[in-house]
Amino acid sequence: MQYRTLGHTGVQVSALSLGAMNFGAIGRTTQDDATAIVDAALEGGINVVDTADMYGAGESEAMVGKAIAGRRDDLVLATKAAMPMGDERNHRGSSRRWLVTELDNSLRRLGVDHVDLYQIHRWDSSTSDEETLSALTDLQRAGKIRYFGSSTFPAYKIVQAQWAAREHRLSRYVTEQPSYSILQRGIEADVLPMTEEYGLGVLAWSPLASGWLSGAVREGREITTSRSKALPQRFDLALPANQARLEAVERLAKVAAGAGLTLIQLALGFVTAHPAVTSAIIGPRTPEHLRSHLAAADTVLSADVLDAIDEIVAPGVDLAAHEKFDTPPALLDPSLRRR
């Protein structure tokens, strides 16, 4: 396992991180399964576990807490907040009111007194940077969080938050957690240059593109990934965007085979090869899935393989731009741009 420094924090983290979104009902993963996955991940050299309050409405955090009991100090524990936690209108977002309350909820579910990295799950257009950063700085000073970061922020919001921290003399985001894979390379054009400019650590989620790069989605094969059942439109081959993805996957599979790699090794090796990326977050549902991911832990892609990937999906290109989560609200809701 390779280890990298998380931004400018000095904390050493593994090139692969264990994502716990599939723990619980969402991934049909039991507590025994979750504990076995955490056991195997730590044994394999992974030292980062990433979860969120909204994964299974707190179920994932509770399962992670039980799985890491007795070895809290052996790993870097990360969680997130800001996504809706129920129907109550203030049980979401990044206001001081909610973050102070929800962090205590997360700590209780995790069974710990602090988390190493607390992340704002999605940017909240209704809350000022000063409000959020002030709350996070106070929580940091109280010892409940060691560092804080953002997740799926567009580039201009990353910059804006850095300047707000400087202007108001507050602690700043030290990490960003964006979606990044061979099939979704848009952040290479703006987000990753900004994280490098400001020295942020990058924890990339969905490096296997929701299963498209796991080997489970191939020409003439029934698609049976868990995501295909939860989000069928993302795998409907009648849609041009999905057909383009399938064509890319078939070409990538040939590149992987020619290099003596699995498609998973190619996909994870690609993400961790980018100089701005600190760690790729994997989300196995079973110990078997984890083993196939750990096989890519030390994969280093040659220049000719990286060039071949660029020929299939050009740098900075998203093959499914409509699935992005960092689009400004005004581009999604006409009422916000046509007043």
Give the CA radius of gyration of the chain.
19
How confident is the model over 2-6, as a mean pLDDT?
97
| DSSP codes, 148-169 | EEEES--HHHHHHHHHHHHHHT
Q: Which residues fall within 8 angstroms of residue 69, CB to CB, at 6 or more apart?
A: 111
Lowest mean pLDDT among 146-150, 236-240, 242-246: 236-240
Kind of pairing, strands 16-19 and 12-14?
A: unpaired
- Asked if pLDDT for residue 322 goes beyond 80, the answer is no
Q: State the CB neighbour count (10 A cutoff) for residue 295.
A: 15
- Identify the band that residue 240 occupies on the pLDDT scale cut at 50, 70 and 90: confident
In angstroms, rounded to a whole number, what is the distance separating the alpha carbons of residues 282 and 295?
Answer: 12
The one catalytic residue in 55, 118, 147, 198 is: 55
Contact 25, 48 (CB under 8 A): no
Contact 2, 298 (CB under 8 A): yes
How confident is the model over 40-68, as a mean pLDDT?
97
Read off the tokens for 295.
Answer: 């096989």
Kind of pairing, strands 175-177 and 48-50?
A: unpaired
Q: How many CA atoms lie within 13 A of 127 on its CB side?
A: 22
pLDDT of residue 229: 54
Q: Which residue has the higher pLDDT, 143 or 223?
A: 143
pLDDT of residue 241: 81
pLDDT, tens digit (0-9, with 9 covering 90-100), for 273-315: 999 999 999 999 989 999 999 999 999 999 999 999 999 999 9
At the fourth CATH level, which superfamily is domain 3-212+265-300?
Answer: NADP-dependent oxidoreductase domain (3.20.20.100)
How confident is the model over 250-260, as a mean pLDDT?
96
pLDDT of residue 339: 59
pLDDT of residue 223: 64
- Asked if pLDDT for residue 79 goes beyond 60, the answer is yes
Task: Give the mean pLDDT of the chain.
Answer: 92
Q: Calculate the alpha carbon distances from 330 to 82, 156, 190, 327 in Å.
A: 20, 15, 19, 8
198 is catalytic: no
- Asked if pLDDT for residue 225 goes beyond 80, the answer is no
pLDDT of residue 109: 98
Q: Which residues fall within 8 angstroms of residue 233, CB to CB, at 6 or more apart?
A: 239
Contact 281, 19 (CB under 8 A): yes
- Identify the band that residue 230 occupies on the pLDDT scale cut at 50, 70 and 90: low
How confident is the model over 214-228, as a mean pLDDT?
67
Query: Rounded to 5 degrees, what angle do the CA atoms 108, 109, 110 make?
Result: 90
Domain ranges of the chain: 3-212+265-300
Long-range contacts of residues 246-254, Cβ cutoff 8 Å, at least 24 apart: 246/217, 246/219, 248/182, 248/183, 248/312, 248/313, 248/319, 249/183, 249/212, 249/213, 249/217, 249/218, 250/218, 250/219, 251/312, 252/182, 252/213, 252/309, 252/312, 253/215, 253/218
In angstroms, rounded to a whole number, what is the distance separating the alpha carbons of residues 131 and 141?
Answer: 16
